[in-house]
Each structure stands twice: as structure tokens, then as C-alpha cells.
A and B are shown apart, each in its own frame.
Chain A
Amino acid sequence: MRYLVLLYGDETVSPAEGTPEWDADLARYMAFDELAGEAIVAGEALQGNASCRTIRHDGAAVRVTAGPFAETVEGLGGFYVLDAPTLDDMIELVCHIPAVNDGGIEVRPMVEWVDRGPRPPADGEARYFATIHGAETAAEEPGSPGWEAGAAEHGRFGKEAGEAMRAGGAVHPTTTASTVRVRDGEVLVSDGPYAESMEVVGGFYVLQGEPAAVADLAGRIPVPERGAVELRPIMELGG
């Protein structure tokens, strides 16, 4: 069973790049990667809210705004696609992700995962994590006619995006989401997404290209009516 694992937290309190605290954080993530081993299907650290852009749809109008989809101090700091047999195995695993201790980790069962593998970046290219947001409708229920129609649209988008689309995934509705936090050593699991204001609806993509081309492409990702795509640069940690 594959799960999309979203790492949320308050970036204003997280350490700045280059500080010893940053290095310690990085070491903790590397320890997790080692511990999780083959359970990790994919995973990236993401840049802060200031580097985000949001592409909002209103009927035929498409508008690009600076900043994340939800105006909060909290934001998406990273993601994993993890493989585990059950939710309990997943909870045990995500308890070792450092973000679980101050922010929280949202676990979303996935319907589908497409991975085209890495492509060496050309000059001026960057990678982005694009998440879909908006009102959840009955079409978000896998197997429903609405879902099938949506899946076909995403199939067309994947073809159109070509080499710029590196990976993509579809997730089950937010009613199947769970959130894990650890406070004072105690594991706190709850029903539902980390924050309704930030919830990912339907799925996500990993896009690679020049910033303007990616923003243009992100505007063509199928979204719910009046929905939006949040485009967050991936933090290239090197190695």
C-alpha cells in the first residue's frame, strides 16, 4: 500500500540553511532515510512559503499569485511516497520523521503513482512539487464516473507535459486522511488532514523545467472548479 506523506510545520521556527541546527536536521532526515530504507518510494525537501507560487482558476481565468495556496505561517516542508502494508506500519514509520515533533505529518492513501525517474537538469531548469487544491467533490471518489473522467484528463495532461512531468500521484479523498504528531514522546494520531485550509485534493505532480515553462504547465493541470495548484520548488540537497 502506497501513501503520500506530507510534512507540515511552521517554517519561521525551522533552522536557516547553513546553520549547525540545519545540519543536525539534515542528519536526522538522513537517519530516517536509512531507517525507512526500501519503504521510501520517493521523497523531497521543499522550499519555504516565500518561494511558492499559486495558480488559481476562476472559470476560464487563470491567475498566478506569489505565496502558497493558504495564507498561513505553516507550510509544506517536504513529502515522501512511502510503501507499507498497513496504516499502523506507516504510523510507526512516520514517527521517525523529524517534522512529526513540531509540526505534523499527514498520511494519505494513494490510488496511483507514476514515476518517470530522474532526468539530468538542463541549464536554468528546476524541479517543483505541484499540489492540487480546491473543493472536494464526489468526483474525487475513485471508481466513480467523475473520477474516471478526471483520470482521463490527467492522462492527457501527462502526455502533453512530456519530459517536464517527472512523477505524479493520485490520492484518495481527504476523508481517508490521517495526521500523526508526536508531543512529549507521545504519538498522537487523528482522523482527517493536517489542516483543512491546506489540504491536497486529488493529487500532485513533480515537474521539471524553466520556471516560466513550469508555471505555464502547472496552469494546465486539471483542477476542481475554482481550484488551484500550489507550485513549490524542490530543495536540491545535492548527492
Chain B
Amino acid sequence: MADGPDEVERAFRAEAGRALATVARLVGDLDQAEDAVQEAYLIAVERWPRTGIPDRPGAWITTVARNRALDRLRRESRRGERERAAALEAVAATPPILHPVDDDRLQLLFTCCHPALAPEVRVPLALRFVCGLRVAEVARLMLEGEAAVSKRLQRAKAKIRTAAIPLRMPGPALLSERVPGVLECVYLLFTEGYASTTGDRLIREDLCDEAVRLARLLVGLRPDDPGAAALLALLLLQDSRRGARLDGEARIVLLADQDRRCWDRSAIDEGMRHLERAASAGTMTAAAAAYVLQAAIAAEHARAATWESTDWRAIVSHYDELAGVSPSPVVLVNRAVALSFADGPAAALPLLERLALDPRLGGSHLVPAALAELHQRLGQHDRAVHHCRRALERAATAPERELLRRRLAELAAAAAR
């Protein structure tokens, strides 16, 4: 049974990410792990089309990469003799058939989020070593050039190696201080997959799955941490709408128009359970509270059987609290939009007009898009068209622009009537 190059590529990619973290633990070095998995890839490309894809490709990749790393350690002279002998012994002592272990990715996530690394390199590092994306894919997701991302990753790896940042989570004395940074990174991984509407759809969905899985592992690691539980709740509740967010032609479907039967009920139930647990915690940090409130907002949507039955008053009050713990202009824009459904568009209009002057939102399409909608609902078509055009000038992604063009067409059709 022969497999085509596409199947081989897909099967390898599906498992390579998990294998990379395990190989990194075994060889104790990120560069060596990358090289070893790359060597395993070259062997797979040559062999799998003839022999068929192995039953457990993950175990195959991990084992072959481990053996390649072992060969390399035997040959190499870059490391000091003592260090080389120790590494060799550690790698050789592992069993002959290896399976990628989930725990390895969680351990490596702590490395990628280490506070001694520059904040802006943590997400790309996690995308590369925890999620196993290729550098080109990381660059595409981050909307940056491959060379620039590659350089940043190289520098971070050099620091990890030279300063001896361990490839595992810290001991109990430092663990609780590290968890918030790790939660934030998982949140960013998720939004990278969920909110970014560019790039390869498959990668983005994988990324959402991966973030949910990591959040689940973190809840397992820190069962009493309200931040971890709230983050998992938030991701599950957001992700429950995945099947309804885009139509057959990958166009954005607004919440109001989504087919709620397509929402993932089991994800919603699980999210609600975690939210309840998180919200019942006595004290929590501002960051944890922000996850709880965002999850509570997502929960209000999940709870509403229809758009019309949404409890907007509850959502506005969650946004009020959220603005208190995480003051960001984007929260205020969302609050104003929620208020427009609770109290009518006229009540929200002055709020948005004030936000339009906020320099932090200067380049964003958010405020003009929201203003366009309010004016449309108020029957003020000329103003709606004006704001919609401004939003269109600023929108960064193709699906957002497509959505705004649809709104413009709607406005034109209404004006013609």
C-alpha cells in the first residue's frame, strides 16, 4: 500500500509538532531537536511512499529523530567532551520506541514563556516548539517576514542555550509566578488561530485545538487556579461557535446570523462548568478576573437560544467590570456595541463618537465599522455609508473587507428602494 506525497506530508506534519517537544526533552537542546526532526522528515519522505505510513507515525518520528540525534551526538565535536558524554548517556538511556508525550509540550511551553525571554518572542517560540509549526507558518500567522521571525527565534534559542533556561517547567517555588505568563501565551495562541482570518484555515483550526488542549493540561496542572479554569472556559465557549463562524465560501457570519444549531454543545457545557468553578473562587488576580469576565460574556451568548433573547443587560455589566480590570479601548468599543443592543443605537452613538477620537484606535477599523452599523440601524444611510467606507480603508484582512463590502452593498440596495 503506497501513499502519495500529500498524504505523507500531512501525516508527518500532524505528528511532528508533538514529536519535536519530546525529542527536545530527550536531547536537551532545541536546535538539535529541530535538526533531528528535519532529518526524520527527509527519511519519511523517501520511505513512507514505498512502505506506507506507519501505524503510529508519532512514535516513528520520535524514535527516528532520537536515533538521528544520537548519531549526531556521537559524531559532533561542538560540545565539550564531558557535556557530550552526559548528553549521549541521557539520550541512549531512553527506551528504543518512543511516543510523543503531552507532558513534554506543557513543559516546553513554560520554556517558551520564560520571563527571561523577550515578551514578543514567546508566542512565536510556542508556535514553533509547542505547536510544531514551521518557521514559514509562524511568520504567516504573525504577519511578518520569514527572515525576521527566523532571526528572532535564533536569538531566543541562543539565549535559552547559553543562559541555561531549562527545557521544563520550574520547581514549586517559581511555578505560581510563571503560570500567568503561560496562560497569556495560550490565550494569544488561541486568538492567533481564532481571530486572525488570514492564512491557511487548517493551520488556524489546529491552533485553536492546540490552545484548548494546552489550557486543559494547565487546568490539570493547576486545578485550583481560577485563571486556568477561566481561560479554558473562555477558549471552549469561543471555540464552540467555530462551525458557524464562516459560511460555505469562508465568509464571516456575524453572531446575529449564525445558525446556533451548529454550535458545539459539549464544548459549551464543558466551558460552563469551568466558568462556574473559576467564578466561585474567592480571590483572584486581575488577569484571572479578565478571563472570567470574557468567559462570562461568551457564556451569555452561548446561553441565548436566539440572537433576540440575548441578555444584553448582563453583557453590558460584564463589560463594565472588564473595563475595570483590563482597561483597553477595544473593551470599551465592545461595551458600546453591547449597550446599543440593550438601550438602543442612539444611546451608544455618543460613546463610539468619543472612542473614535482615541489615538490608540487610530488605525483600527473597529470604531468606524461599529458606527456604520449604528447609523444603519438608525436609518441614517448616508452616514452609515461614510463610516463603512472608512472602515473598509482600514480593515486589514480580506474576510473583514469582504464583510464591509457586503454591508455597503446592503446600504446601496436600501437607498435604491
Contacts and interface: CB of A to CB of B under 8 A. Distances in A.
A176 B159 contact: yes
B90 to A, nearest CB: 13
B164 interface: yes
Nearest to A142: B162
Given A92-B173, A175-B159, A186-B177, A86 B117 contact: no
Interface of B: 114-119, 155, 158-159, 162-166, 170-171, 173-174, 177
Given A87-B164, A191-B118, A176 B174 contact: no
Contacts of B165: 86-88
A104 B171 CA distance: 22
9 closest Cβ pairs, A-B complex:
A189-B115, A178-B116, A86-B166, A176-B162, A191-B118, A88-B170, A1-B164, A86-B164, A176-B163
Given A86-B166, A172-B162, A92 B116 contact: no
A60 B119 CA distance: 41
B115 A109 contact: no
Given A86-B165, A172-B162, A176-B159, A92 B115 contact: no
Nearest to A177: B163
A191 to B, nearest CB: 5
Contacts of A186: 177
A188 B174 CA distance: 11
B164 A189 contact: no
Contact of B162 (A91, A109, A187, A189): A109
A47 to B, nearest CB: 29
A86 B114 CA distance: 13
A190 B115 contact: yes
Contacts of B159: 175-176, 191
B166 A87 contact: yes
Interface residues of A, number: 21
Interface string A85-126: 111100110000000000000010100000000000000000
A189 B155 CA distance: 18
24 contacts: A85-B164, A86-B166, A87-B163, A87-B164, A88-B165, A88-B170, A88-B171, A88-B174, A91-B174, A92-B171, A92-B173, A107-B163, A109-B163, A109-B164, A175-B158, A175-B159, A176-B158, A176-B159, A190-B115, A190-B116, A191-B115, A191-B117, A191-B118, A192-B118
Nearest to A108: B163
A4 to B, nearest CB: 12
Contacts of A109: 162-164
Contacts of B174: 88, 91-92, 187
Contacts of B171: 88, 92
Interface of A: 1, 85-88, 91-92, 107, 109, 172, 175-178, 186-192
Contacts of A87: 114, 116, 163-166
A1 B171 CA distance: 18
A191 B177 contact: no
A123 to B, nearest CB: 43
Contacts of A187: 174, 177
A188 B178 CA distance: 10
Contacts of B166: 86-88
A186 B179 CA distance: 13
A62 B188 CA distance: 52
Nearest to B160: A87
Contacts of A189: 114-116
Contacts of B118: 191-192
B382 to A, nearest CB: 51
B344 to A, nearest CB: 45
Nearest to B161: A176
A156 to B, nearest CB: 24
Contacts of A88: 165-166, 170-171, 174
Contacts of A91: 116, 174
Contacts of A177: 163
A190 B165 CA distance: 13
A92 B165 CA distance: 13
Given A88-B170, A88-B171, A189-B115, A178 B163 contact: yes
Contacts of B119: 191
A86 B301 CA distance: 46
A175 B156 CA distance: 9
Which of A92, A177, A191, A192 has the largest number of chain B CB atoms within 10 A? A191
Contacts of B162: 109, 172, 176
A118 B378 CA distance: 85
Nearest to A141: B158
A189 B173 CA distance: 14
A175 B163 CA distance: 10
Given A172-B162, A187-B177, 13 more contacts: A1-B164, A85-B164, A86-B164, A86-B165, A86-B166, A172-B163, A175-B159, A177-B163, A186-B177, A189-B114, A189-B115, A189-B116, A191-B117
B196 to A, nearest CB: 25
B108 to A, nearest CB: 14
Contacts of A190: 115-116
B37 to A, nearest CB: 24
Contacts of B114: 87, 189
